[in-house]
Amino acid sequence: MKVTLLGAGAWGTAMASQAARHLQDGDVCLWSRSADQLQEIAQSGENKSYLPGINLPKNLHLEADFSAAINRLSEQDLLVVATPMSGLAETITQVLQVAKHPLNIIWLCKGLEPATALLPHQVVEREHQLHGRGLTHAYGALSGPSFAHEVGAGMPCALTVASASAQLCEIVQAAFHHDNMRVYSSDDLIGVELGGAVKNVLAIAAGIGDGLQLGLNARAAVLTRGLAEMMRLVKAAGGKSETCMGLTGVGDLILTATGDLSRNRRVGLELAAGKSLNEILASLGHVAEGVLCAAAVSDLAKRLGVDMPITAMMGEVLSSKLTPKEAVKKLMGRDPKIEA
């Protein structure tokens, strides 16, 4: 089989490496809009800008021609969109415009579209209605607790692919389930995608708590009550609340809220230190999806009538309506409730 990955950031590069370790020479293609970036990768053998220190497989094919990267695939192959959430709509539109036959498509991004509070699959469905050209593509999301650098290094990892298409899930497993990576399947696309969005916001909250030195008790409370918020939202949106107890919910939440490689956790730590959001984002060099989708998650919760106080407070902190300390005070001052 052949695999094409669109986007040579940290995640796209790491997952391209994972597939290339198992497949044949040239079967895995990594596309980038920057020919200069691809030339640097070819010369150095690593993606120094996004995944430094990781030697990439020599059988990895690098491609700057978008149409060629897409149309090298057959109906049994796999296309992976490895852009941030902000690039999903544009990339899918371009794919639909150049595709010559039905494709198997998954995305790696986590979050909601900020302006619309749409989930990734809803963004894709919207673009498909506008640009689908009569082709019926299979769609899905690949998510779970994973840092790109560790995946690129071949360290143990477990992910979940979610799709209404069982065949697509099997294709994704054939591409990535080998060596130190396990890939489970699910039909709960809503639950998997919402888990990936909400956990980023909660990781900022956990980072703020740690940055303010509120203690391990406080961190446990944030994660536990944050998980309850996630489960309520997933159920209200039409997903399965039990999905939140798996890799793409509690698993990804634990990793992102406690791992030192987490960009969202780092945002929380630096907000607690008194830095401005603009200053923090400028120093990151990479996207922190929790910042981009916090307001959208809160908007979706309001639309569905779901109470998400931790998420709501993070939205107010990120929009500079509250300081981190004020947000903690408001959360701790809420009326007592029944735990359910």
Among 110, 199, 325, 337, the active-site one is: 199
> 240: exposed, middle or buried (C-beta count within 10 Å: 0-12, 13-18, 19+)?
middle
HEC sequence for 50-92: CECCCCCCCCCEEECCHHHHHHCCCCCCEEEECCCHHHHHHHH
Continuous segment of H or E residues that includes residue 6? strand 3-6
> If 0-12 CB within 10 Å is exposed, 13-18 middle and 19+ buried, where does residue 36 land?
exposed
Phi-psi category of residue 61: left, alpha or beta, with phi > 0 → left and psi -120 to 50 → alpha? beta
CA distance 252 to 255: 5
Task: Decide: 143 and 150 in contact? Cβ < 8 Å.
Answer: no
Task: Select from 284, 257, 266, 271 the least CA-distant residue to 321.
Answer: 271
The answer to whether 308 and 331 are in contact (CB under 8 A) is no
**Which H/E stretch holds residue 169?**
helix 166-176
- Residues 119 and 190: beta-carbon distance below 8 Å: yes
Helix H, strand E, coil C: the string for 171-226 is HHHHHHCCCCEEEEEECCHHHHHHHHHHHHHHHHHHHHHHHCCCCHHHHHHHHHHH
User: Is there a catalytic annotation at residue 199?
Assistant: yes
Q: Is the dihedral of CA 99, 165, 289, 148 positive or negative?
A: negative
Active site residues: 199
